[in-house]
Chain A
Amino acid sequence: QVTLRESGPALVKPTQTLTLTCTFSGFSLSSNGMCVNWIRQPPGKALEWLALIDWVDGKYYSPSLRTRLSISKDTSKNQVVLTMANMDPVDTGTYFCARIRRERDSGGHYSYYFDSWGQGTLVTVSS
């Protein structure tokens, strides 16, 4: 059974750096095709993808947030860490981690959909 769980501060001040940890079980991030992502959702709004780290330590970021984000993994601990610098009140929302199990479909294209999600952690940015 695949599980993911987010942890981190519920409240951060503007300009501070946010650090979130995703702890997962049921798969290994060193296995071929495995990826862990961060996705966020402001209150009442849509989902926004932030970052992905894959089994060979490839790192990909949302272009609009790239300068503020850093993603890393500790395979031995089954953890992925996201840092987001210079937090602002508009960054308030629920932050999810989610797994992608990259597979090649019948057309030869790799699939990057999120098949397992954590329950999310609410982060409020306020002074």
Chain B
Amino acid sequence: EIVMTQSPATLSVSPGERATLSCRASQSVGTNLAWYQQKPGQAPRLLIYGASTRATGIPARFSGRGSGTEFTLTISSLQSEDFGVYYCQQYNDWPPLTFGQGTKLEIK
């Protein structure tokens, strides 16, 4: 099973600043990685797939990069609505499809 590890666990960023979230895979997943945003009481929302392709309707301030075992999600200029928990998910080798443990993004 591929284990996904996200860091940091919690990130506090002021509006307008850049936020960078990290995701590491226990073995190479190529670019077969997705990112999701989840707000309290809601289902996750797809942000990024293929490590760097924004999903439909996702603002350009969200960007993903990386390949192999190291990935980042960057929010270039944080908006107040960007708070929530962010998860990465690999789909290179499954079952199982696996998620990271999440990074909680707080607005400072």
Which residues from chain A sit less than 8 Å from chain B, CB to CB?
37, 46-49, 52, 60-64, 96, 98, 105, 107, 109, 111-115, 117-120
Q: Is the CB of B43 within 8 A of A46?
A: no
Assess whether B71 is interfacial by the CB under 8 Å rule: no
Closest-by-CB residue of A relative to B4 is A46
> Given the complex, which residues of A lie within 8 Å of B102, measured CB to CB?
46-47
- Which residue of chain A is the closest to B99 with respect to CB atoms? A47
**Between A and B, how many residue pairs show CB distances below 8 Å?**
67
A114–B44 touching, CB < 8 Å: yes
B99→A113 contact, CB < 8 A: no
With A47-B87, A48-B99, A114-B36 as contacts: A109 and B43 at CB distance below 8 Å? no
Scoring A49, A96, A120 by chain B CB atoms within 10 A of each residue's CB, the highest score goes to A49
With A49-B97, A63-B1, A117-B43: A109-B49 Cβ-Cβ less than 8 Å: no
| In the A-B complex, the 4 residue pairs with the closest CB atoms | A112-B91, A117-B43, A113-B34, A49-B97
Contacts of A63 in B (CB 8 A): 1, 95-96
Q: Which residue of B lies closest to A96 (CB)?
A: B43
CA distance A60 to B96 in the complex (A): 8
Given contacts A47-B44, A113-B89, contact A60 B95 (CB under 8 A): yes
CA distance A120 to B43 in the complex (A): 7
Residue from B30, B34, B87 within 8 A of A107 (CB atoms): B30
User: In the complex, are the beta carbons of B99 and A49 less than 8 A apart?
Assistant: yes
Q: Which residue of B lies closest to A61 (CB)?
A: B95
Which residue of A is nearest B38, CB measured? A47
Q: Is B66 an interface residue (CB 8 A)?
A: no
Say if the beta carbon of B107 comes within 8 Å of chain A: no
Known: A115-B46, A120-B43. A107 touches B31 (CB 8 A): yes
**Contact partner, A62, options B31, B89, B95, Cβ 8 Å:** B95
Question: Are B30's CB and A115's CB within 8 A?
Answer: no
Cβ contacts under 8 Å, B55 to chain A: 115
Measured between beta carbons, the chain A residues less than 8 angstroms from B42 are: 119
